[in-house]
Chains A and B, each alone.
Chain A
């Protein structure tokens, strides 16, 4: 039954067609805001970051491969920072992965009651701790431990290894929780199928459960790596902040893309070469995180295709 204009007025309602266009407008506006923010952000970082190469005359090749980052001398070689970022990221993932995977197997396959009710909330608590607290603990505990283990070789204790250890603890909850979810999502029928063939629990976990959960586990690892790659504050507090030359070993103080960016900003005047070079570091960071996200999407779509 069609309503007359008067009826709508009485009930203070909008006509249906109008209501739909309002809904469309509101939700569309939200989408537009998000899209504009993303595009503007990428555009701005790219524009500022590329100025280094196009206006300031620094070659992209020498920027990426240069082994000295000494802005006061006009030397902008980002390789020590790139190496620093990748080594702390890879090392921390290497430290975290076995522990995260081991505890996920325990929680899902061995003691689900304890794991789900006590262990998982405990681990998730770690996510909420601010990174400055991790940095503080790293500074007092990890760096001191490095000094007492490696003695003079460790110097102050600050270095890539300390940074990697602190990061490993920081990404542990993310990787663990996602791994638990990944293993729990494997249908029980797969386990039973394996048991029915006379396989032991260990054979089932190793060959069937982990194999089935592989795409989700990869996503868990990459999520952890993304976080490690982007983390600044905690790393800055324990890594030593030496960016001018290549680190020679794991105990050497170093810097990452993020720490060099933050510590450099206080010295750089807007519009200077150094300022643009810092934006270039930001551009590399942005490109890397886009790359990580791309991998996650690729794994996701490949996994979905296989299941179809």
Chain B
């Protein structure tokens, strides 16, 4: 299935070291358009660390060095010359805790497009707010209170607002770092549906999750990490029904993690 889709991101021997400690050993993965890849594994296995390489978020952490090549549309972004800020316009990220800014719902959506000079008129701004919120399945709930504070929303709504905010930049990759771990089951469900809907528009997505059920519900491919190693990867169905590596088998059967 992967071959028929456009490859957007590939990592070649990507490593992460904090000082002298190698937190992530050489990792090779491929991410395609319209696909959701789940990164699973026990805590501290390097899955979030790996995810944060893909939009060079690790550059914000002192003493953290990323090695190897990260090819984005066939061009290596893991170089000192890469413009982080340009890159992150097209590779968006959603975090564990919903982080709406202390602004209205509308201003949360328009925050980044405004900073990057993409807003030309009020009509265009209104349209962007509407399409982004619709894509994140939040429009119907908030269309009458766009000027209210984003803090007034529930946790699940805030998280979908963060997704909408990311979508407003029209990225072609969205990275999710345990986006549902702070949410209740109903909100989790709506965020998962949103993630699937976004994939169907051709955006490439990667999601770090602790929840294996979530991985089966939401992803097309899964990669299993264990103590800094990417142990096994493949189509999600195969990973869960026919795991090969003994560590993955142990993890799936709940022997650790």
Interface set of A (CB-CB < 8 Å, partner B) = 187, 189-200, 203, 207-208, 211-212, 214, 306-308
Closest to B174 in A: A196
Chain B residues positioned under 8 Å from A187 (CB to CB)? 97, 99
How far apart are the CA atoms of A194 and B116 in the complex, in Å? 12
A199 near B102 with CB under 8 A, answer no
B9 within 8 A of A: no
Chain B residues positioned under 8 Å from A208 (CB to CB)? 101
How far apart are the CA atoms of A307 and B149 in the complex, in Å? 9
How far apart are the CA atoms of A307 and B99 in the complex, in Å? 12
B85 near A200 with CB under 8 A, answer yes
Given contacts A212-B101, A306-B149, A307-B151, whether A196 and B93 have CB atoms under 8 Å apart is yes
Query: 19 A–B contact pairs at CB < 8 A?
Result: A189-B95, A192-B60, A195-B60, A196-B57, A196-B95, A196-B166, A197-B88, A197-B92, A197-B112, A197-B165, A197-B166, A197-B169, A198-B116, A199-B115, A200-B85, A207-B101, A207-B115, A212-B102, A306-B102
How far apart are the CA atoms of A189 and B159 in the complex, in Å? 13
**Residues from 111 to 170 in B contacting A, C-beta threshold 8 Å:** 111-112, 115-116, 149, 151, 162, 165-166, 169
Given contacts A199-B85, A199-B112, whether A194 and B95 have CB atoms under 8 Å apart is no
Closest to A212 in B: B102
Chain B residues positioned under 8 Å from A197 (CB to CB)? 88-89, 92, 111-112, 115, 165-166, 169
B10 within 8 A of A: no
How far apart are the CA atoms of A286 and B101 in the complex, in Å? 38
B102 near A198 with CB under 8 A, answer no
B87 within 8 A of A: yes
B102 near A214 with CB under 8 A, answer yes
A211 near B102 with CB under 8 A, answer yes
Closest to B59 in A: A195
Closest to A203 in B: B115
Least distance between A115 CB and chain B CB atoms (Å): 14
B88 near A195 with CB under 8 A, answer yes
Chain B residues positioned under 8 Å from A207 (CB to CB)? 101, 111, 115
Chain A residues positioned under 8 Å from B166 (CB to CB)? 196-197
Least distance between A242 CB and chain B CB atoms (Å): 46
Least distance between A197 CB and chain B CB atoms (Å): 4
Chain A residues positioned under 8 Å from B169 (CB to CB)? 197-198
How far apart are the CA atoms of A300 and B87 in the complex, in Å? 38
Least distance between A290 CB and chain B CB atoms (Å): 29
Least distance between A124 CB and chain B CB atoms (Å): 25
**Residues from 219 to 247 in B contacting A, C-beta threshold 8 Å:** none
Hey, what's the 0/1 contact readout for B74-114 against A, CB within 8 Å counting as 1?
00000000001111110011111101011100000001100
Q: Given A195-B84, A198-B112, A207-B111, output 9 extra A-B contacts at Cβ < 8 Å.
A: A189-B96, A192-B60, A193-B101, A195-B57, A197-B92, A198-B85, A199-B111, A212-B102, A306-B151
B151 near A193 with CB under 8 A, answer no
How far apart are the CA atoms of A187 and B97 in the complex, in Å? 10
How far apart are the CA atoms of A199 and B93 in the complex, in Å? 12
